[in-house]
Chains A and B, each alone.
Chain A
Amino acid sequence: MLLIRGGRVIDPASGRDEIGHLALKDGRIHGFLAGDAPAGFDGTVIPAEGKWVVPGLIDMHVHLRDPGYEWKEDIASGTRAAAAGGFTSVACMANTNPVNDSAEVTRQILEKGRMEGSANVFPVAAVTRGLEGKEMTDFTELADAGAVAFSDDGKPVENPLLLRRAMEYVRPFGYRILSHAEDTALAGGGAAHEGWTARKLGIPGIPSAAEEVAIARDILIARQVGGKLHIQHISTRMGVDLLRMARRAGLDVTGETAPQYFTLTDAAIEGYDTNAKMNPPLRGEDDRMAVLEGIQDGTIDAIACDHAPHESYVKKCEFAVAANGIIGLQTSLPLSLSLLAGGKVSPAHLVGLLSAGPARVLGLRGKGTLAAGADADVTIIDPETEWVFGPGDVLSKSKNSPFLGWKMRGAAAATICGGRVRHSAIAGVGAHA
C-alpha cells in the first residue's frame, strides 16, 4: 500500500483538481481521499504537500535505439532518463536495427522493457517492412505481439497509395498510424529551416512546405478512407492550422508537438551549433507562436519530446553531416511547465497533454488517469523547484541537448510506475531499482 499524501491531485481524465490523498494498492489506484490524511495507515506514506500528483506521464515519441544502436541508448538507460523526467510510460519508435517490423522484435523490446526498464515501454511497430516504404508489415500480428501503434518515423511513408492502403487495412482494427509528415523531395536535402538564419550561414534550407504538404496529404488520405491518423512533431504554423481544420471537420486526426518547437527557433543554430540540428528543424518565431497557440486552444493533443540520442562524434562535425535529433526526456517536463506562464494553459490542460492525451491517442487502457482501478502510475511534480540541467544530470547515454546549462523551473519529485517508486527526489523516499 502506498499513500501519496497532501498533494494537489490533478487528473484531467476525471476532472479532478483538488488537494487530497491518493492510495495505491496491488499495482492499482485504490482511490482518492479528501480531508485529513487517514490515521494509522498501514504502508508507505509519500509526502506530497506543495506538489502536484498527476497520472504517470507518458511520452509517446521516444527513440530507445534498442536493439541495434545500444551505444547511443538502450532500454535500461532510456527508461532511467524517462523516470527521472517524470515519465512512467514511453512509446518507442521502430527505426531500430533490426527494424521493429516483426513480432519477434516487438516481443524482444517488451521483454527487455519488463526486465530492465524503469518505465513501461510500449513499442510502436513499422508501417512498412524495413522502413523501406514498399510493403506493409503484418499489422495484426504486430498488434497481438504488443505494438500499440504503427509508424515509419524517422522517415515518412512516401508513397501515398501505400499509406492509403495501410490506413484502410487497419481501420477495422482501430489501429492508429503515427505519421512523420515530410515531403522529402521538397525538403531537398536541407539541413535547417529555410529562412534568414540558414541563408546567412549558407546552410541548405528545408522549407515549411515540406512538412505542410505532407500533413495535408496525410489528413486528406485519412479523410478519404476514414482512418485514424496522428501527426508527429508539428513545427509549422500551417501544420497546426491543418490539424485544426481536420479536427473541425470531425476527422479522427490527432497531433503532437515537442518542447523544442515551442521553446526554440532557428536562431539556435547560430554558430553552426549541431545540438540544435533536428528533423523537422527548429522554425521561425511565427511558427513557434503558432505551436503555442495550437497548444493553448486544444488543437495539439500531446507533447512528445522525440527523444533522439546520438553519440558525440556524429554531432561534433560539420553542420551539414551532423546527425539529426536531441535527447529530451529529462527536459520535457520543466520546459512544458513554462507553458503555464501567462495563464493561457491551465495545470490540468498541461497535465493532460503529457498523460491523458497520449493515452487516448494510443488507446492505452488504465493509463493517463488516476481513476480507481487504473494502473498505479503516478508522477509527483514539484512545479517550483529551480535547478540547472547540467551534463552531470544526464542519465541518457548521449548528451546531445541544446538545453544543457539552462536554468529549469519544475521537475519530477517522484515517479511511481506500477506502484513502485522508480525515481525520487523526496527525502526519505527511495527508488526501487
Chain B
Amino acid sequence: MLLRYGGEAFFFARRRRTGREKGANPMKSAGTKILLDGKGVERVLSRLTHEVIEKNKGAGEIVLVGIASGGVPLSDVIRRKIRVIEGVDVPTGFVDITLYRDDLSRAGYQARMKRTEIPFSIDDRKVILVDDVLYTGRTIRAAMDALVDFGRPRNIQLAVLIDRGHRELPIRADFVGRNVPTSRSETVLVKVEGDPGEWTVLLKEEPPGKGE
C-alpha cells in the first residue's frame, strides 16, 4: 500500500518532454486551434465509455489504469460514467511510467517521478489503459512493461482521447476519441483538470525541439 505524504494529491510539479503541457492556459493566439471544448470532451468520453462497455460485453471484468499524469483524470471520468451506465464501480488505478522510459539518460531531461497506485490485482483482468494523447507509442510500451511487472492481465486494451499519429513503435489504440493528423512541429495540449466544463484540447504550432 502506497504511503501518502501529508494527504497530498497525486500530482507533483513536473516537466515532461512529451510536448504536451498540462495546466497551461489555452492561448487564443494565432497558431492555436481549439480541437475540443468542454462539451466536446464530454461527448467524446461518453462515446468512448460506451465503446469500452460494448466491446467488453459489460463492465464486469475490466479494470481501468490511467497513465500518469494525463490519463488519470480521464480514467476517473470513464469510471464515473460506467457507474452511471452500468451501475458497476470499476477498480481504477494509475501508473507512473518514469522508471520504464527508454530515454532516461538523454541530455537535458530530468524525470520527476509521479505516483503509481494499483491497489488491486490485475491478474486475469482486462486492463483498459487510458491516456490523453497517443503519439509515438513509447509511453504505452513503457506502461505495458510496468503493468506486466504487476501481474498477468488477460488482455490490455488502450483508450486514448486523441490519436495524433507518428507512431514509432507498432502500437495501436482500441478506443480513440478523436483522430487528429498533426505535423511534428505541432503540439496537442490537453487540459483536463478543474471544472470539466473548462476542459479543452488545443492544437498549437510549437517550435521544433520539443516532443517525443
Direct A–B contact present (CB less than 8 angstroms): no
Residues of B within 8 A of A (CB): none
Binding site for B on A (CB under 8 A): none
